[in-house]
């Protein structure tokens, strides 16, 4: 064996130490073999989701603290599990680092903080890291891909496709906060831009979103929801996904939208709430006779609209304005390969466009 372990082995060892694998019945074998071995509870389905976290697409090293990048990397996957009402079983991290990163003190700090942020949320949600892959990045960009596995009793996982005409439409928490904080975070990199000083009081909906695992699990366990999706791409886009999967249309009552306090400070608050992505709240539907609690574990559930019968002469989503008029609502969240305005400045996976206008 070589005397000083090669840097890749050192990275794997660093990951192992950041994520001690507690013995548990559902994880028979963690990091260190060709595969991890999971043992889902009997009569449970297994849920799987994967999410990229790519530098300069989903974060910027100069504006996003490494701790938050690691936290968000895991949060994205956990939110997908939350949307199905699943309980996390294990996460897998594929991580490619630029050649120089592990060789400088600041680079080593970045790695340690990234792993620490990921471990913080992993511990808080009881999600062991059971494996993954490491590589040298082919460029100077940091590349991560997170895989989340979870379980739910057979046949009970919430899906996008169960909404029926007449169902009520609900959202957890509030909307637009992530887009608002993203704007503030990007502006902070620009010394001439003003940064509000109330961000601490209002939480960090962009840097530290809360995957709604408990809420999703409660909706599933109590059979409250007919369909569910997480708000990663923005309300207008994700509601369109839900409507397409359920073959229905929807109407949103604009007056009822819960706008995040951080967004209300922005001139385009409503736009941020409707089109801004990455709030990682849950959007769900329920039969009109189902009694939906006003809160689950302290997080408000707000009715924001109604599911309607599909009709080729009607837009998929309409917005009922406070003055009683209706207008079509087109999906406005991000699309990675959208053909307009591709600037290299990252806005968390979405091309810079008017919705999330970058302040710099």
Show the binding pattern over residues 248-287: x = contacts a copy of itself (CB under 8 A), - = does not: ----------------------------------------
Residue number, 106 or 323, with CB nearest to a copy of itself: 106
Residue number, 136 or 311, with CB nearest to a copy of itself: 136
Residue number, 8 or 126, with CB nearest to a copy of itself: 8
Binding-residue total with a copy of itself (CB under 8 A): 86
312-341 per-residue burial string, b: 16 or more CB within 10 A, e: under 16: eeeebbbbbeeeeeeeebebbbbeeeeeee
Binding positions for a copy of itself, 165-204, rule CB under 8 A: none
Confirm or reject binding of residue 209 to a copy of itself (CB under 8 A). Answer: no
Among 256, 318, 335, 359, binds a copy of itself (CB under 8 A): 335
Stretch that binds a copy of itself, among 107-115, 176-184, 290-298, 338-346 (CB under 8 A): 338-346
Residue number, 6 or 267, with CB nearest to a copy of itself: 6
Among 105, 191, 267, 344, binds a copy of itself (CB under 8 A): 344
Q: Is 15 exposed, middle or buried (0-12, 13-18, 19+ CB in 10 A)?
A: buried
Tell me how far, at minimum, the Cβ of 241 lies from a copy of itself, in Å: 9
Show the binding pattern over residues 9-38: x = contacts a copy of itself (CB under 8 A), - = does not: xxx----------------xx--xxxxxxx
Give SS3 for 20.
Answer: coil
282 in Cβ contact with 238 (< 8 Å): no
Task: Give CA separation, 153 vs 84, 116, 340, in Å.
Answer: 11, 32, 43
Confirm or reject binding of residue 159 to a copy of itself (CB under 8 A). Answer: yes
- Residue partners of 34: CB distance under 8 A and separation at least 6: none
Distance CA 75, CA 72 (A): 5
Give SS3 for 44.
Answer: strand
Q: Find the helix packing angle between 213-221 and 66-84, rounded to 10°.
A: 10
211-244 per-residue burial string, b: 16 or more CB within 10 A, e: under 16: bbbebbbbbbeeebbbbbbbbbbbbbbbbbbbbe
Show the binding pattern over residues 126-155: x = contacts a copy of itself (CB under 8 A), - = does not: ----xxxxxxxxxx-x-x-x-xxxx---xx
Stretch that binds a copy of itself, among 1-9, 112-120, 164-172, 203-211 (CB under 8 A): 1-9
Confirm or reject binding of residue 346 to a copy of itself (CB under 8 A). Answer: yes
Residue number, 243 or 301, with CB nearest to a copy of itself: 243
Tell me how far, at minimum, the Cβ of 50 lies from a copy of itself, in Å: 5
- Per DSSP, 259 falls in state B
Binding positions for a copy of itself, 230-249, rule CB under 8 A: 230, 240, 245
Tell me how far, at minimum, the Cβ of 314 lies from a copy of itself, in Å: 12
**CA nearest to 335, candidates 315, 353, 350:** 350
Looking from the CA of 228 toward its CB, the CA atoms found within 13 Å total 30
Among 331, 348, 355, 356, binds a copy of itself (CB under 8 A): 331
274 in Cβ contact with 236 (< 8 Å): yes
Binding positions for a copy of itself, 46-105, rule CB under 8 A: 46-52, 54-58, 79-81, 83-84, 86, 90, 92, 94, 96-97, 99, 102-103
Confirm or reject binding of residue 163 to a copy of itself (CB under 8 A). Answer: no
């Amino acid at each position: 064996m070589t005397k000083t372990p090669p840097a890749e082995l050192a990275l794997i060892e660093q990951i192992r130490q950041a994520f001690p694998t507690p013995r548990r019945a559902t994880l028979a074998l963690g990091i260190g073999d060709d595969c991890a071995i999971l043992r889902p509870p009997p009569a449970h389905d297994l849920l799987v989701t994967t999410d990229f976290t790519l530098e300069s697409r989903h974060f910027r090293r100069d504006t996003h603290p490494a701790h938050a990048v690691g936290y968000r990397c895991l949060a994205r996957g956990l939110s997908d599990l939350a949307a199905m009402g699943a309980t996390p079983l294990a996460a897998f991290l594929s991580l490619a680092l630029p050649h120089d990163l592990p060789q400088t003190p600041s680079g080593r700090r970045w790695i340690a903080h990234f792993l620490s942020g990921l471990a913080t949320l992993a511990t808080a949600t009881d999600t062991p890291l059971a494996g993954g892959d490491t590589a040298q990045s082919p460029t100077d960009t940091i590349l991560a891909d997170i895989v989340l596995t979870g379980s739910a009793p057979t046949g009970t996982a919430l899906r996008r496709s169960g909404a029926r005409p007449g169902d009520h439409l609900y959202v957890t928490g509030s909307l637009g906060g992530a887009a608002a904080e993203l704007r503030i975070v990007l502006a902070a990199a620009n010394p001439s831009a003003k940064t509000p000083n109330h961000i601490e009081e209002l939480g960090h909906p962009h840097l530290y979103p809360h995957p709604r695992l408990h809420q999703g699990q409660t909706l599933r366990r109590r059979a409250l929801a007919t369909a569910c999706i997480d708000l990663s791409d923005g309300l207008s886009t994700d509601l369109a996904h839900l409507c397409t999967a359920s073959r229905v249309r929807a109407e949103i009552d604009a007056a009822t939208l819960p706008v995040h306090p951080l967004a209300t400070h922005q001139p385009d608050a409503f736009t941020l709430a409707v089109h801004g992505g990455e709030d990682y709240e849950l959007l769900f539907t329920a039969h009109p006779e189902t009694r939906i609690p006003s809160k689950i574990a302290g997080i408000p559930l707000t009715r924001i609209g109604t599911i309607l019968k599909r009709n080729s002469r009607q837009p998929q989503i309409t917005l009922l304005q406070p003055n009683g008029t209706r207008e079509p609502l087109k999906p406005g969240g991000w699309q990675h390969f959208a053909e307009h305005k591709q600037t290299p400045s990252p806005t968390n996976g979405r091309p810079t466009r008017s919705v999330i206008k970058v302040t710099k």
